[in-house]
Amino acid sequence: MNARTLGTKLVGVIPPMMTPFRENGDLDLDMHQRNMTHWEKDELCGYLVLGSNSESAFLSYDEKLRLIETTAAAASDNRIVLAGTGVESTQETIRLTNAAAKRGAHAALVLTPCYYNDQMTDEALIAHFGHIADHSDIPILIYNVPKFTHINISLTAVARLSNHPNIIGMKDSTGDVPRLAALLANASKEFHIIVGTAAAWFPALMLGIECGILALANLAPNQCASVQNSVRSGNLDSARELYLKMLPVNAAITNRFGIAGLKYAADLAGYEGGSVRSPLLPLGGQAKHEIKEILGTAGLL
């Protein structure tokens, strides 16, 4: 699939999929497979494997490839498969990206490198993403998530990179709506700005953004899709109401209770979250109780 064709598929909702582990920390591909079967029936336009919510930071190279393979095999043809392939080293990111391409990923989501954060100047980031895009067998997207990386790629750098034919978009997870507006105004017209959090989903749609990679879509994919459908059909009040109803759920699974909270909420909603990997801690009873209440109030039980 070429960059332009791929771009046309970036319309709708994509879950940054959690990765189910057994209690002993082993990867459980069967659980992942069953989640895929479930998501295939939901209103989604694709999948992101190996995002932040996938606990990618804890996965080995081999585990990453197996997850991509399983995902690509289970995804229906009309759905796009994105794989998170960004690691700290430019060369290693290229290697993983091209291995992901071989396993069936259609495009790669490349995290901003961040360990040597004060060296990650515009110049360094432009060189990094440009070099990866030059050597990648599939189109790439920038992944900007300062909450985890403490790097917030500048508008200038994005504008510049948006002209690269093999860089087709960016997932911006800041939740900073004025920034999304400025990105839309500054990037090239064919560049896809994707909102990376349900906290900004309705406002992003109102700006004209067409795609959301939303942690919330792991457990409430159809509600996320419904917000977008209502906007499309001009029912803004319905869209806003459903968006506001989902906000407390989103806050719980992204900020307050972290990935363990996301997985437990997914369990409650009929998916299979599995355990988290250490050093993440399992949820306590009180946290579970609160999540149950929050999901109940939102009509997700």
- Amino acid of residue 26: D
**Alpha helices (runs of H) in 162-272, residue ranges in sequence order:** 177-186, 201-207, 221-232, 236-251, 258-268
Closest CA to 140 of 119, 115, 109, 173: 109
301 lies in the site for its own copies, by CB under 8 A: no
Nearest distance, CB of residue 90 and its own copies, angstroms: 4
- Amino acid of residue 94: I
| Contact region with its own copies (CB under 8 A), list: 37-45, 53-61, 67-75, 100-108 | 53-61
| Contact region with its own copies (CB under 8 A), list: 100-108, 161-169, 218-226, 257-265 | 257-265
| Binding test (CB under 8 A) with its own copies, winner from 28, 42, 43, 58 | 58
Task: Please return the burial class of 258, using the count of CB atoms within 10 Å of its CB with bins 0-12, 13-18 and 19+.
Answer: middle
DSSP 281: P
Closest CA to 100 of 44, 144, 51: 51
What is the distance between the alpha carbons of residues 281 and 286, in angstroms, rounded to a whole number? Answer: 14
The residue among 115 and 188 lying less far from its own copies, judged by its C-beta, is 115
60 lies in the site for its own copies, by CB under 8 A: yes
The string of DSSP codes covering 73-103 is: HHS-TTSEEEEE---SSHHHHHHHHHHHHHT
Nearest distance, CB of residue 267 and its own copies, angstroms: 18
Q: Do residues 94 and 135 lie in contact, with contact meaning Cβ atoms separated by under 8 Å?
A: yes
From the list 9, 64, 171, 263, the catalytic residue is: 171
Q: Build a one-symbol-per-residue string for 148-187: x at contacts with its own copies by CB under 8 A, - elsewhere.
A: x-x------------------------xxxx--xx-xx--
- Amino acid of residue 68: I
The tokens describing 113, both together, are 């490198």
What is the distance between the alpha carbons of residues 38 and 42, in angstroms, rounded to a whole number? Answer: 7
| Binding test (CB under 8 A) with its own copies, winner from 1, 11, 127, 301 | 127
| Binding test (CB under 8 A) with its own copies, winner from 1, 11, 57, 73 | 57
HSE-CB for 272 with a 13 A CA cutoff: 17
135 lies in the site for its own copies, by CB under 8 A: no
Nearest distance, CB of residue 92 and its own copies, angstroms: 7
- By CB under 8 A, the residues from 195 to 254 that bind its own copies are 197, 199-200, 202-203, 206-208, 236, 240, 243-244, 247-248, 251
Is 64 marked active-site?
Answer: no
Q: So which residues are the catalytic ones?
A: 171
- Which residues of the chain form contacts with its own copies (CB under 8 A)? 25, 52, 57-58, 60, 88-92, 113, 115-121, 123-125, 127-128, 131, 147-148, 150, 175-178, 181-182, 184-185, 197, 199-200, 202-203, 206-208, 236, 240, 243-244, 247-248, 251, 255, 258-260, 277-281
